[in-house]
Amino acid sequence: MTNYSTLALVRELHRALEAGRSGKDIRSLFHEDVEMIEHPNALKPHGGVFGVEQLIASSAAGVEMLLSQTFQELSAVVDGGHAALRVRWQGVVAVDAGPFEAGQELTAHVAQFATAVDGRILRLETYDCYEPF
């Protein structure tokens, strides 16, 4: 796995999510032993650790909840097979749910750390800092 390919995989994931792809459509980006670590944040106060099945299900639920989402890469650093990205995420809520109203815009400042092997993401760790909503 080259430096570029780890970063390229994360960028491909971002573009896929922006295009509304989820579930089975993005599964090929993830290694079967993938581990996603989401650190505590405003949406998930306890954070979580997810395997491939949970990750795929969560992506499908997210697409249903959002009218659109964008990932603006602000910077990226690569070290061997690891990539660290600073991203500004924006999403538009599709339906009224919980504290959110349809059409509401959400913004998060995100640090992502990825490791890839065999051309797929093996580990994805995120620190999501949401602006007040």
Q: Which residues of 33-46 are buried (b: 16+ CB within 10 A; e: fewer)?
A: ebbbebeebeeeee
The residue among 72, 71, 131, 63 whose CA lies nearest residue 94 is 63
Per-residue pLDDT at 133 exceeds 60: yes
CA 111 to chain centre: 10
Quick: pLDDT tens for 10-52.
Answer: 999 999 999 999 988 999 999 999 999 999 999 999 999 999 9
Report the pLDDT value the prediction gives residue 1, as an integer from 0 to 100.
42
Quick: pLDDT tens for 73-120.
Answer: 999 999 988 999 999 999 999 999 989 999 999 999 999 999 999 999
Q: What's the whole-model pTM score?
A: 0.92
Inter-residue contact 128 to 39 (CB < 8 Å): yes
Report the pLDDT value the prediction gives residue 121, as an integer from 0 to 100.
96
Per-residue pLDDT at 2 exceeds 80: no
